[in-house]
A and B are shown apart, each in its own frame.
Chain A
Amino acid sequence: MAPTETELTPDALRLDAAKAVEEIAERLRETTYRDLRRRGAVVGLSGGVDSGLVAFLCARAFGPERTLGVLMPEGESAPDTLDLSRVSAEAAGVETVVEDITPILEAVGCYERRDAAIRTVMPEYGEGWKAKIVLPSLLGGQRYSLFSVVAESPEGERREARLTAAAYREVVAATNFKQRVRKMLEYHHADRLDYAVVGTPNRLEYDQGFFVKNGDGSADVKPIAHLYKTQVYQLAEEVGVPAEIRERPPTTDTYALEQSQEEFYFSVPFDKLDLCLYARNQGLAAEAAAGATGLETEVVERVYEDIERKRRAAEYLHAPPLVLASLERAG
């Protein structure tokens, strides 16, 4: 039963973890065999908790021998990404293959195009610099969340500059090569093994459009897209995803300078956003989420507005290719 406004607490998101794991594994197996007609799973492993959990779920559903973890680091991945991805795969007992995607990214001009775009707002940005894109927190007073680039010189000096719309789009378009190249390789392995590509978005990412279309947004099945991030952590603990992965803060691992998902996209810590999204989905007023999260009611109202704005933007990302006339056929 849905909680009333005075009852909402973080416990509203607690699941019977053992039961949820069994149900997801069962549905994943059925869907893959019956609907997709594939015999196993390919999972891109990032060293994060979402892909760590999905590897375990696939191992449970298909057996570890029919689950392949693909590790796809690149020159700007965090130093611990590859090791944590291996830890994740070993704990789940699944086979792995490592694909260093740096040469592919260099060949398509990923880094070069991005750096050129950054230089349009920060001319001094060059060789040896590291950068990331950030959004101001919604917890501050300003309502507009505008993207800035934060860069660090080789000497460690930090600069920040507001992006122009053109520069922002160029930077995003260039870095999206990373997610799209990874997905291309996952499908390569899926094709050669007759496996399905199993996606790793959680509910926050899926609902709010935090993925790249035809990149990490692409998959044959998405087994944890209905789970709030706190529930992902709960199930990850249940199945045995190692603590060092569960304790790693959520990161985009897309930019050279370390960047949390919060500063790039969500603007609010995920546990609070989870509760706000849950409250919003239950039709509860901002006051209820304020009580459960400890946020001011007016901050929750801004979060609610942001949730709806991101949903509107995500419509394009979720849309399949559209056809413009009926394709009815007999039989």
Chain B
Amino acid sequence: MPPPSLSNSETIEREIREFLRENFPLSADGVVLSQDDSLIEVGVIDSTGVLELIGFIEERYEVEIRDEEVLPENLDSIASIIRFVGEKLGAASSNGAHGD
């Protein structure tokens, strides 16, 4: 597994899809998500699932998600998660948060 600061879009997408598949039954049950599908509307995750997703992103990518960032535009589709995590990682590495 690469260090989080080196994660690119492809890696993030693969890891997010794997996280969804392993943790949410509907996602594991053959539902194929496009990058733009709303995770809530498709029924893959609910509000507790959003908490789980936040926990995964914070732990895996070593970033902190503030309450005001917990918005559908950042977390409701694979595409938005890739963009959001990419931005968080960009901000973290330009702040020297990972010290590398």
Q: Which residues of A approach B to under 8 Å, CB–CB?
A: 135, 142-147, 162-166, 168-169, 305, 309, 312-313
Determine whether the beta carbon of A144 is less than 8 Å from that of B43. no
A165-B55, A309-B40, A312-B43 known; A144+B48 contact, CB < 8 A: no
Determine whether the beta carbon of B40 is less than 8 Å from that of A147. no
A-B contact count (CB 8 A): 41
Determine whether the beta carbon of B47 is less than 8 Å from that of A145. yes
Instruction: Pick the 9 closest A-B CB pairs, nearest first.
Output: A165-B52, A165-B51, A143-B72, A164-B55, A145-B47, A165-B48, A144-B70, A144-B50, A165-B55
Interface size class of B (residues with CB under 8 A): 10 to 19
CB contacts (< 8 Å) of B51 on chain A: these are 146-147, 162-165, 168
B10 within 8 A of A: no
The complex places the Cα of A165 from the Cα of B46 at a distance, in Å, of: 11
Smallest beta-carbon distance A274→chain B, Å = 22
Smallest beta-carbon distance A40→chain B, Å = 40
CB contacts (< 8 Å) of B55 on chain A: these are 164-166
- Residue interface mask B48-84, A partner, CB < 8 A = 1: 1111100100000000000100111001000000000
Determine whether the beta carbon of B71 is less than 8 Å from that of A143. yes
CB contacts (< 8 Å) of A146 on chain B: these are 47, 50-51, 70
Closest-by-CB residue of A relative to B49 is: A165
Determine whether the beta carbon of B72 is less than 8 Å from that of A144. yes
Closest-by-CB residue of A relative to B67 is: A162
The complex places the Cα of A144 from the Cα of B47 at a distance, in Å, of: 7
A-B contacts, 25 of them at CB < 8 A, read A142-B71, A143-B72, A144-B47, A144-B70, A144-B71, A146-B50, A146-B51, A146-B70, A147-B47, A147-B48, A162-B51, A162-B70, A163-B51, A164-B51, A165-B49, A165-B52, A166-B55, A168-B51, A169-B48, A305-B41, A309-B40, A309-B46, A309-B47, A312-B46, A313-B46
Smallest beta-carbon distance A291→chain B, Å = 26
CB contacts (< 8 Å) of B49 on chain A: these are 165
CB contacts (< 8 Å) of A169 on chain B: these are 48
The complex places the Cα of A22 from the Cα of B47 at a distance, in Å, of: 41
